[in-house]
């Protein structure tokens, strides 16, 4: 049998021969276990192990989620109770709460800006993809590690540096950036425009530039790993839908984030070096600025060329996670596997040609607006394919309502409801009326923000046993789901109604406008729901950290899943498998197969071992497997001599797993 080569953390590992008992390959060269041979700093701080790096992303994302959602609670207090005394926040916010207990108006805009930035980029982009792409890609494709362990480590630490800079901007004298999370010029391009356009905006741009480099390094690594490091038998037609989602997401990010990087770079030039890429005919205090020839609309094109693919950079990994969780807990094969893959690819392609639907009010040519409206409506087709396939997978399944399953079903609900409101905003005539109202806020918080957050929580509950070797408390998980699910709808569903009535987003107070006084009670209800939902997240925080140390020990495969990560030891070291890397023989969704002894058949189980459930074409594959086994036995009789005692140990361990 021909030798193959895998790479583990930048080190080449030769595969010598097929191991019949373990359905995998035995290493000729010793695979170094860095986790055991290193020290604390190399094992847990500057680790190149993809599992450790995934946990670093996860812990950092939890921190940023608390910060970002906490900010939203503060500005919801202002919106829901505009006459309330907020002096109790003075120990936290300092001078941004004045002597009368009122929140500073400039700081209100900064809170809105930083909330959007943190949640979209630091939590739902880095937190979601950084955690689960890092953790699951090598484990589910049968690789020792990422293609480049060093690049993987560098990706995290650049993200951490970007986070430190962004966090520091919260404490400067003039306050953090406050031009909205989309940082449209001229507010973001003129340091003198407002306090939040000064140093805070400079730090925002610096942080985002470093964050983008981090994201690109991660994306290159994910793509390279999926293409090059799949184990024997793991064809693209056998990849779990999680890997397809992570793979396509990385490609989207690799093509779109450089455009935002260029926009940030040009904005820095306009702010600091006197260029006029985005500035022209600007007057401040009656004085004309010298900038001529630029266009603020150009920045919008550059931003939204990333901004709309960003919706799917956030959403597709959550959908991929839910595909795995729903199939495993429905005890059914995922419905329409190839249709799901094509829908992911279709969404990715269309995401690059719909960006201008965010710009219907910029005065674009109506004919051009019609084209973007048409393309935006088309993207509903692959989205509907995914929604219907989830529902069909659930239909008549033997449903197991784990917390992960509930959050996945919640994602499908939010995806459908939020997607339906997107049809309204895709129409230029309707969008012009609803633009920058709370209808838009409700739409993207449901379809992108909350749905993706539910997918992330589903992934945490589902893979927590593999990450930490323990089980999270199920009852606390149920409480967390129902309070969050009800809370999210209580927050965002009423926003559709006030948005249709014209209630504008980013306004400090609605009491100055008599028509909006009608919505005082509704705003109070939304703010109350937001506070209660935020408090409920601390149940999850307690469950998460308590279960890490005190949770019930997890069995090897608690959900009876088919994918490869459950074939590793309960606490896999750096390299994931001891000895043999499993070979893959089948697709990942053989659940409740007629005639099978169990209601799941893992991917690494050969067809020759399941004759009672094989289909006619699978019997032919079983015959081929028997021939391969015989060849493997012949090779095992005369194995190549190990090159060292450590290599011999690896061979012995591989044969006895």
User: Would you place residue 1 in the very low, low, confident or very high pLDDT band (cuts 50, 70, 90)?
Assistant: very low
Considering 499, 516, 550, which residue would you say is the last residue of a domain? 550
**How far is 122 from 130, CA to CA, in rounded Å?**
10
Domain boundary among 502, 517, 550: 550
Name 600's bridge partners.
Answer: 591
Closest Cα to residue 86, out of 71, 73, 72, 100? 100
Closest CA to 329 of 240, 416, 409, 242: 409
- Do residues 513 and 652 both lie within one domain? no
Phi then psi for 582, rounded to 5 degrees?
-60, 145
Per-residue confidence (pLDDT) for residue 147, from 0 to 100: 95
CATH code, domain carrying 341:
1.20.210.10
How far is it, in rounded angstroms, from Cα 400 to Cα 159? Answer: 37
Residue 369 CA neighbour count, 13 Å, CB half: 17
Integer angstrom CA distances of residue 392 from 15, 324, 336, 396, 397: 41, 14, 9, 8, 9
Whether residues 478 and 611 share a domain: the answer is no
CB neighbours of 140 closer than 8 A, spacing ≥ 6? 239, 240, 242, 243, 563, 564, 565, 588
**pLDDT tens column, 583-608:** 999 999 999 999 889 999 999 999 98
Dihedral sign for Cα 594, 597, 599, 600, please: negative
Q: Torsion angle, CA of 73/78/81/82, rounded to 10 degrees?
A: 180
CA dihedral in degrees (143, 144, 148, 151; nearest 10)? 110
Return the pLDDT at 621.
86
Q: Which two tokens stand for residue 431?
A: 């969008």
Contact 153, 245 (CB under 8 A): no
Q: Does residue 555 lie in a domain region?
A: no
> Is position 112 within any domain?
yes
Task: Decide if 570 is inside a domain.
Answer: no
Residue whose entry in the numeric block shows the structure tokens 């459930």: 613
Whole-number pLDDT of residue 316: 96
Instruction: With a cut of 70, say whether residue 580 has pLDDT above it.
Output: yes
Residue 451 lies in a domain: yes
Q: How many CB atoms lie within 10 A of CB 271?
A: 21
Domain shared by 28 and 65, yes or no:
no
Structure tokens at 400: 């197991």
Region of 24 on the Ramachandran plot (φ > 0 left; ψ -120 to 50 alpha; else beta): beta
Instruction: Answer whether 245's CB lies under 8 Å from 313's CB.
Output: no
pLDDT, mean of residues 303-318: 95
> Look-up: residue for tokens 């003075």?
90
569 in a domain, yes or no? Answer: no
pLDDT at residue 651 tops 90: no
Report cis status (omega within 30 of 0) of the bond before 186: yes
Q: Is the pLDDT of residue 643 over 70?
A: no
Mean pLDDT (whole number) for 279-296: 88
For tokens 């659940």, name the residue.
591
pLDDT score of 639 more than 60: no
Q: What is d(CA 311, CA 425) in angstroms, rounded to the nearest whole number?
A: 15
Q: How high does pLDDT run on average in the chain?
A: 88
User: Above 50 in pLDDT, residue 11?
Assistant: no
Written as one string, the DSSP assignment of 211-232 is HHHHHHHHHHHHHHHHHH-PPT
Asked whether residue 649 falls in the same domain as residue 526, the answer is no
What's the CA gap between 254 and 219, in Å, rounded? 6
pLDDT at 623 over 50: yes
Same domain, 338 and 260: yes
Helix axes 337-351, 380-394, angle to 10 degrees: 150
Considering 492, 517, 550, which residue would you say is the last residue of a domain? 550
Compute the average pLDDT of residues 483-493. Answer: 97
Q: How many CA atoms lie within 13 A of 506 on its CB side?
A: 16
Domain membership of residue 38 (yes or no) is: no
Query: Which one is predicted more confidently, 18 or 498?
Result: 498
Q: If you search the block for the tokens 């905003």, which residue do you land on?
A: 425
Same domain, 537 and 590: no
Higher pLDDT, 369 or 21: 369
Reduced to 3 states (helix: H, G, I; strand: E, B; else coil), residue 489 is helix
Residue 486 has pLDDT above 60, yes or no: yes
The residue behind tokens 């941004």 is 96
Average the pLDDT over 112-120 and give the result: 96
Same domain, 371 and 498: yes
Q: How many CB atoms lie within 10 A of CB 587?
A: 17
Instruction: Output the pLDDT for position 35.
Output: 43
* Same domain membership, residue 581 and residue 500: no
Q: Quote the pLDDT of residue 38.
A: 72
The residues that bridge with 288 in the sheet, in sequence order, are 283
Looking from the CA of 595 toward its CB, the CA atoms found within 13 Å total 8
**Beta strand pairing call for 581-582 and 24-27:** antiparallel
SS (H, E, C) 417-431: HHHHHHHHHHCHHHH
Domain of residue 15 covers 4-32+575-656
Percent of the chain at pLDDT exceeding 90: 75
Residue 337 inside a domain? The answer is: yes
pLDDT tier at 629, thresholds 50, 70, 90: confident
CA dihedral 644, 646, 651, 655 (to 10 degrees): 150
Domain count of the fold of the chain: 2
pLDDT per residue as tens digits for the range 358-373: 999 998 888 899 999 9
639: number of Cβ within 10 Å = 13
Alpha carbon of 386 to those of 319, 321, 345, 379, 446: distances in Å?
9, 13, 12, 12, 17
In a domain, residue 507? The reply is: yes
Around Cβ 310, how many Cβ atoms within 10 Å?
Answer: 23
Look at residue 374 and tell me whether its pLDDT is greater than 60.
Answer: yes
**pLDDT given at position 473:** 96
Q: Which pLDDT belongs to residue 570?
A: 87
332 and 409 housed in the same domain: yes
* pLDDT tens digits for range 413-469: 999 999 999 999 999 999 999 999 999 999 999 999 999 999 999 999 999 999 999
pLDDT of 632: 66
**Residues 245 and 112 both lie in one domain:** yes
Q: What is the mean pLDDT of residues 87-92?
A: 92
| Whether residue 482 sits in one domain with residue 621 | no
Q: If we measure between CA atoms, which residue out of 66, 31, 103 comes closest to residue 538?
A: 66
Mean pLDDT computed over 255-283 = 93
pLDDT of residue 37: 64
Q: What are phi and psi of 423, to 5 degrees?
A: -65, -35
- Do residue 514 and residue 640 come from a single domain? no
């Amino acid at each position: 049998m021909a030798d193959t080569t895998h790479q583990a953390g930048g080190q080449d590992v030769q595969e010598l021969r097929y191991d019949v008992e373990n359905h995998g390959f035995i290493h000729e060269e010793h695979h170094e276990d860095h986790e055991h041979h290193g020290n604390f700093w190399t094992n847990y701080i500057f680790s190149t192990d993809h599992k450790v790096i995934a946990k670093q992303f996860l812990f950092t994302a939890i921190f940023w989620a608390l910060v970002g959602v906490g900010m939203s609670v503060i500005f919801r207090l202002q919106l829901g109770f505009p006459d309330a005394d907020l002096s109790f926040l003075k120990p936290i916010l300092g001078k941004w709460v004045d002597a009368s207990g009122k929140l500073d108006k400039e700081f209100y805009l900064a809170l809105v800006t930083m909330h959007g930035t943190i949640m979209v980029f630091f939590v739902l982009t880095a937190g979601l993809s950084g955690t689960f792409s890092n953790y699951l890609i090598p484990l589910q494709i049968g690789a020792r590690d990422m293609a480049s362990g060093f690049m993987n480590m560098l990706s995290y630490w650049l993200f951490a540096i970007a986070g430190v800079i962004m966090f520091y901007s919260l404490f400067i004298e003039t306050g953090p950036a406050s031009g909205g999370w989309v940082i449209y010029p001229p507010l973001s391009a003129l340091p003198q425009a407002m306090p939040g356009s000064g140093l805070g905006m400079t730090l925002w741009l610096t942080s985002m530039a470093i964050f983008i480099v981090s994201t690109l390094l991660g994306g290159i690594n994910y793509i390279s790993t999926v293409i090059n490091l799949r184990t024997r038998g793991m064809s693209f037609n056998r990849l779990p839908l999680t890997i397809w989602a992570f793979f396509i997401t990385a490609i989207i990010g690799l093509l779109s984030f450089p455009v935002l990087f260029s926009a940030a770079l040009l904005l820095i030039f306009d702010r600091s070096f006197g260029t006029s890429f985005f500035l022209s005919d600007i007057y401040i205090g009656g004085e004309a600025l010298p900038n001529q020839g630029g266009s603020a609309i150009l920045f919008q094109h550059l931003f939204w060329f990333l901004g709309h693919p960003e919706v799917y950079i956030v959403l597709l990994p959550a959908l991929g996670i839910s595909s795995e969780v729903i199939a495993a807990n429905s005890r059914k094969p995922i419905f329409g596997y190839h249709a799901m893959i094509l829908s992911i690819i279709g969404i990715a392609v269309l995401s690059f040609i719909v960006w201008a639907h965010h710009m219907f009010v910029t005065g674009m040519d109506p004919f051009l607006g019609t084209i973007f409206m048409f393309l935006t409506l088309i993207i509903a087709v692959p989205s509907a394919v995914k929604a219907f396939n989830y529902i069909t997978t659930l239909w008549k399944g033997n449903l197991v309502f784990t917390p992960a399953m509930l959050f996945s079903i919640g994602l499908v609900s939010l995806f459908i409801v939020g997607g339906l409101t997107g049809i309204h905003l895709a129409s230029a005539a309707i969008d012009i009326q609803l633009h920058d109202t709370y209808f838009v806020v409700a739409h993207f918080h449901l379809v992108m923000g909350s749905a993706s957050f539910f997918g992330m929580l589903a992934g945490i509950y589902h893979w927590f046993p593999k990450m930490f070797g323990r089980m999270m408390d199920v009852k606390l998980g149920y409480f967390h789901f129902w309070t969050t699910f009800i809370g999210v709808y209580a927050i965002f569903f009423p926003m559709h109604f006030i948005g249709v009535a014209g209630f504008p987003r980013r306004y400090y107070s609605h009491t100055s406008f008599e028509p909006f006084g009608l919505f005082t009670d509704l705003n109070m209800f939304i703010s109350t729901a937001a506070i209660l939902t935020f408090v409920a997240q601390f149940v999850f925080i307690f469950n998460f950290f308590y279960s890490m140390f005190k949770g019930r020990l997890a069995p090897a495969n608690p959900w009876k899943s088919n994918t490869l990560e459950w074939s590793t030891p309960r606490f896999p070291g750096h390299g994931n498998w001891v000895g043999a890397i499993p070979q893959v023989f089948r697709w990942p969704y053989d659940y409740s197969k007629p005639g099978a002894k169990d209601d799941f058949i893992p991917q690494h189980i050969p067809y020759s071992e399941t004759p009672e459930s094989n289909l006619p074409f699978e019997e032919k594959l079983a015959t081929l497997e028997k021939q391969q086994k015989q060849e493997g036995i012949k090779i095992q009789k005369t194995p190549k001599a190990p090159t060292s005692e450590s290599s011999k140990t690896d061979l012995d361990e591989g044969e006895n797993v």
